Structures are given as C-alpha cells and as structure tokens.
Amino acid sequence: MTPRLTLSQLTKRYGDVHALTDVSLAVAPGERVALLGHNGAGKSTLMKIVLGLIGFDGGTVSVEGAAPGSTAARRMTAYLPENAAFHPALTGRELVCQYLRLRGQPGAQAGALLDRVGLAHAADRRIGTYSKGMRQRVGLAQALIGQPALMVLDEPTSGLDPVSRREFYALIDDLAHAGASVLLSSHALTEVEARTDRLVILSRGRIVAAGTLGDLRARAGLPLSATVTPAPGAIAAVRAALPPDADWRDGQARLALPVTTKMGFLSRVAALGGQVADVEIAPPSLEDIYTHFSHATPPDAAEPRQAEAA
Ligand SMILES: Nc1ncnc2c1ncn2[C@@H]1O[C@H](COP(=O)(O)OP(=O)(O)O)[C@@H](O)[C@H]1O
Ligand SMILES: [Mg+2]
C-alpha cells in the first residue's frame, strides 16, 4: 500500500539548533503512529513541516505524492495544534460552525461533529467555561471536518484525565478503522501505550527507536522487577536464600532480574515453600522503556558542537 505520509531524511535547523536530523518515517492508510519525545525533541517541528506551515532544510516530505501545504495535501490533512486555544466567548457550536464555513461546508454539520466527540451536551455553552478535556474535544471536532485522510494531532491527550483519554482513543480507533492515518505526539509514553500501532521515539531531533511496544520492550532488554514477600517469621531464611543485592524494604525484597534468569529465580523461590508468602514479577514499565531509548544516543549522532557544549 502506498504510504499516506512519507518523510525521507528530513532535516530542519533553526539557526544553530538542529531540530530534526535525518528523520525518515512512513504512515500507511489506517495506521496510528505515536511520535514520542521529551519537550524539545522536535515533535511539533515535524508536524508543522507535514502541514506545510514551516519549511525544511533537507530531505523530502510527501502527503500521498503531494507537497506539504499544497492544496491537494491540505485537502487531505487535518491538524490539532499543541495547546489549541479557541475564542472563549464563542460556544462550541459557533466555533465548529465557523471552521465548517471556512472549509466551504454547511454549518449545520456542527451538531453532528460535536456529538461525535461527546460534546453534544455542551454545544451551546461558551468555550470559556469548558474544561481542558472539553477544549481538546472541540479541537478534535474541528479536525474531523471533511473526513481527513491524514490527522496530525500534536499532544492531543496532554492534560486529559484517564476517562477522557480513553474516549479520545476510542474515537481515534474508529477513524483508523475507517481508513484515516493518524500521527499523534506525546511526551509521556503512558498516554499512548497500546492504543497506537507503532511508536516512534524522537530524541534531540533524531529517531532513536521505532516499532510496536513489544518490539521496543524486547530491544531495550531491560530487567524484570521481582518482589518477594516472606511469610511471617521467615525473613531471615528468605534473605539467606536470595542474592545479596536484593533491596529490602518494608519486609519485602526487590530485585532486578535479567529476563533470562526468570525461571531459575522462580524455582529458587519455589524451593523456599511456605517460607514465601508471595512473589511478583513485573515487566519493565512503559516509562522505563521510554527513558531507556530517549536517553540513548544513536552511534552516528556524535556532533562536535554538542560534545563541546557538554
Ligand atoms: N521557531 C523556532 N525558533 C527557534 N528554535 C525553535 C523554534 N521552534 C522550535 N525550536 C527549537 O527546536 C527544537 C524542537 O522543538 P519542538 O519541535 O517544539 O519540540 P517538541 O514539540 O518535541 O517539544 C527545540 O530545541 C526548540 O527550542
Ligand atoms: Mg511540541
């Protein structure tokens, strides 16, 4: 399938700041891709380039063969900017109506769009009275106008409570099932986790890892965390049986376990029988994986100027 969005060796500088270096990425129809990175990683810059709002210094960008910002590309693309601010005196309906007219569509569709993002009940209230989550949803209603084939959403779930976030992703799932491609960004991996098809981690303007969460988990090779709770009165016996580097707190031992040692460890714990009240083994957290990759520097990324600054 032809990708809907293709970036090839994209490079962007702001004066001396290397905002993006050699970024290559393709998003297929119906695919949801999350762009992850700390503040300043280059997420918004990448999105603004895709929208044609700013230029770039090297590489190529294609929205189904069209140049970013061209009429053909703009017709296909919707955008939710980071921290989208809307006029607080307008109601949700008035705002969406205004955007519909700008796109040459009947304003009467505003009600249906607001319903789609769960804002029907607040359509006639002023945006100034909306919560952050409601403002994000108005932004999303605006982005849904004209059934865009490519949705570019900059930190759409930042500041949303877990329920609003779940509703947001349910809507994104529907759009992707209907064939829309979604590129969204976030600075927190826990906000996107399993709800996207692919994660792309940007660090200082470079892609440092890309794949499904499972791929990234395997590639990071981070240890598991084990927690062992001794039975009452059995702390000394369990302590003697566990490796000396176990971290004892609140009567429990915590250990970092390389993945390959898991079964051996479990049989040692099982051999302690009734002296152990409980054992838990947890995979590395999403945040651990994210931190692992977002602090990693790719082997070819050494830049003399950065070395001097360090
Ligand atoms: N208009 C600009 N002028 C100069 N530097 C900028 C501008 N916009 C962004 N930058 C810099 O480019 C880098 C990437 O920024 P940005 O794309 O906003 O990152 P993110 O969205 O991941 O937080 C940062 O170092 C930022 O300071
Ligand atoms: Mg940003």
Task: Calculate how far, in angstroms, residue 82's C-alpha sits from the geometric centre of ligand 2.
Answer: 6
- Read off the pTM: 0.84
Whether the pLDDT of residue 303 is over 70: the answer is: no
For ligand 1, atom 8, name the residue with the nearest CA. Answer: 45
How many whole angstroms separate alpha carbon 61 and alpha carbon 306? 27
Per the rule left: phi > 0, alpha: psi between -120 and 50, beta: everything else, 158 is: beta
Residue 308's pLDDT band, with cuts at 50, 70 and 90, is: very low
How many whole angstroms separate alpha carbon 48 and alpha carbon 66? 16
**Domain residue ranges of the chain, discontinuous segments joined by +:** 5-218, 223-283
Confirm whether 5-218 and 223-283 share one CATH topology: no
Task: Calculate how far, in angstroms, residue 139's C-alpha sits from the geometric centre of ligand 1.
Answer: 22
* Tens-digit pLDDT profile for residues 4-27: 999 999 999 999 999 999 999 999
Entry field: residues in the chain: 310
- DSSP annotation of 192 reads T
Task: Calculate how far, in angstroms, residue 101's C-alpha sits from the geometric centre of ligand 2.
Answer: 28
Q: Which of 7, 45, 154 to mutate to test the pocket of ligand 1 (most atoms within 8 A of CB)?
A: 45
pLDDT of residue 188: 76
| Strand blocks (E) in 177-275 | 181-186, 198-203, 206-211, 224-230, 247-249, 252-257
Listed range (149-163, 172-186, 187-201, 267-281) with the worst mean pLDDT: 187-201
For ligand 1, atom 26, name the residue with the nearest CA. Answer: 40
Looking at domain 5-218, its CATH superfamily turns out to be P-loop containing nucleotide triphosphate hydrolases (3.40.50.300)
Atom of ligand 1 nearest to the CA of 39: 23
Task: Calculate how far, in angstroms, residue 203's C-alpha sits from the geometric centre of ligand 1.
Answer: 12
195 compared with 59, residue with greater pLDDT: 59
Residue 305's pLDDT band, with cuts at 50, 70 and 90, is: very low
**CATH T-level assignment (fold) for domain 223-283:** Alpha-Beta Plaits (3.30.70)
Contact residues of ligand 1, CB 6 A cut-off:
14, 17, 19, 37, 39-45
**What backbone phi and psi angles, to 5 degrees, belong to 308?**
-65, -40
Contact 190, 286 (CB under 8 A): yes
CA-based nearest residue to 139, from 126, 118, 156, 120: 156
* Dihedral of the alpha carbons of 141, 162, 202, 45, in degrees to the nearest 10: 30
CA-based nearest residue to 186, from 47, 29, 3: 47
